[in-house]
Amino acid sequence: MTDMLQFIAVLSCTLFSGAAIYINVAEHPARMECGTELAATVFGPSYKRAAAMQVSLALVATGAGLLSWWIEGKVLWLLGAMMIVAVIPFTLIAIMPTNRRLLDPRLDRSSEDTRRLLQKWGALHAVRSLLSLAASCMYLSVVVRS
């Protein structure tokens, strides 16, 4: 049972981390290269698809990490769970206001303000990438040491 929980924690956390890093390294820069209007246009559909996947992965990674900590008592499981779950309130508090503005149907998608919002979003999203990468490293290190 413990092995399965640990596998689920590591898999879901590293999948989240990989997806988040992919967004920062490839997807978001690529859409920005296509111009502000197109970047703002595709932001909505991309965001909606990614959000559903990433919330699920973050919750599973947190739950499995917490259960692994509860069973084994190794603090890295707890720290990793705290890091991966932190992406949820960070998203709601820090990123959501920018998301709402970018998803507003009245947004002038070709404006300089929109370009700045998209750049800000990319920087904020990088925090999610770093938090999830840190959590993944914690989870992996506790498994490797076992």
Classify the C-alpha dihedral 117-22-131-73 as positive or negative: positive
Model pLDDT, residue 85? 98
pTM of the full predicted structure? 0.94
Q: What does the pLDDT average to over 103-131?
A: 98
Residue ranges making up the domain that contains 62: 2-145
Percent above pLDDT 70 for the chain: 100
9-52 confidence digits (pLDDT tens):
999 999 999 999 999 999 999 999 999 999 999 999 999 999 99
Alpha-carbon separation of residue 88 from 31, 93, 101 (angstroms): 24, 9, 19
Q: Which residues neighbour 11 within 8 Å (Cβ) at sequence distance 6 or greater?
A: none
| Count of structural domains, the chain | 1
| Distance between CA atoms of residues 51 and 140, nearest Å | 24
Please check the confidence at residue 1 and state whether its pLDDT lies above 90.
Answer: no
Alpha-carbon separation of residue 79 from 63, 113, 114 (angstroms): 12, 38, 36
100-113 confidence digits (pLDDT tens):
999 999 999 999 99
Please check the confidence at residue 135 and state whether its pLDDT lies above 90.
Answer: yes
Residue showing tokens 């499995």: 64
User: What mean pLDDT value characterizes the chain?
Assistant: 97
